[in-house]
Structure 1
Amino acid sequence: MVYRKISDDLKECVLWLLEAGYSTEEVCDLLGVSRHSLFRWKANQEDYNSVKPPYNPLQGRPRILNADQTHDLLTMLQEAPEMYLDEIQDWIAVTQDTGISRTAIHTLIHDSGLTYKILRRAASERDEDARREFMEMVRKTFIASMIVTADESSKDECTIFRKRGRAPRGQRAQIDADFVRGDRYSILAAITVHGYIGTRIISGSVDGDEFSTLLSTILCGPHCYYLASY
């Protein structure tokens, strides 16, 4: 008999016909089902009160990596998120003594909720303990109105255009943009919870000494009464 998908309604109809007095052969010939399937549905009905057994979470092909190996892999990816699939494949072969395809690795990582995205760089010299101590000192010592934040930005003819766009599949998205930098300006601003307390715009770039000088000018300028009031 050719394999085919049999709905639960048809299986229940088979059992109803048996209860109605039809013989096994008659039901099999009438509905085109096998005796083996008929007896299996009947056993399921008696054991589980349903023609279909309950879902078995262990059914299907087992994963190549067990739970502990998967945990080790995800822990490694937290420490080294930049690794390529072939590098991960080599790592698994060496540390777990297991062969696994790159497709299976991709599926495992995807099912774990990890996605492939642009990396954000963080300074390797940073000290997490010192950062926590500094944040705790700030929390205990300062209030929001006492804090002034400052930063520097720059603008030239190459910076003002959007980085992403749309185009038909298989074609590049293109936009006309200036490749000549032109005049470059640096913008320095300081801000508190009450708003900007000073800004400076100069031609060219800003180095560390100029940044300190401009910052001192801003904080000691006519708007410094904001700081003295709080």
Structure 2
Amino acid sequence: MPGKRAKKTRQPPHVQRFVADYVKVHPCFYVEELQTALRQWFGAGTSSFSASALLRLLKFDLGLSRKVLERRAREAVPCEIEDFLAKMKCWYKYPEQLVFVDETSKNGLDSMRRYAWSARHERAVVRVPFSRGKRVSILAACDVSGFLSWNCTRGTYTRMEFHRAFLRKVIPKLNP
């Protein structure tokens, strides 16, 4: 085709091979981690390892794209928000009177990265151990000033443990 340029790669073949191998071994990497690996392998004086240069190499020269590994949480439904506001309207006067309490937990799988690089039109698959590790649960209460109180436990909260932690940690911080 007239006017079409020949594909020009900006990185030498040995750098491209290193990056391709790095992606196979570490598909969930951050660009900064790739920069560090390249500088360690090829020398710190190399200036062609900018984030934009590496992204061009990954996308155009190696034909890779960044993919989501995990489903996203569903968004709040507008009618649920309206129902909540209607219920609160008779009690709510000012923001300082609100206290929010939530329980959350974490296990070993929560620290897994959510994105990985893979070839276009191919799934991003990472082989990881399925061991969840130890679960830790936290109950926290906050208001407009920040956290009022919190409680932590190994495993998950049972109904009774949640109730005891709420009575012991949150209730004393509330106004009569």
TM-score by structure 1 length? 0.38
Tell me which protein shows more helix as a share of its residues.
1
Tell me which protein shows more strand as a share of its residues.
2
Between 1 and 2, higher relative CO (CA 8 Å, sep ≥ 6) is seen in 2
Between structure 1 and structure 2, the one with the greater Rg is 1
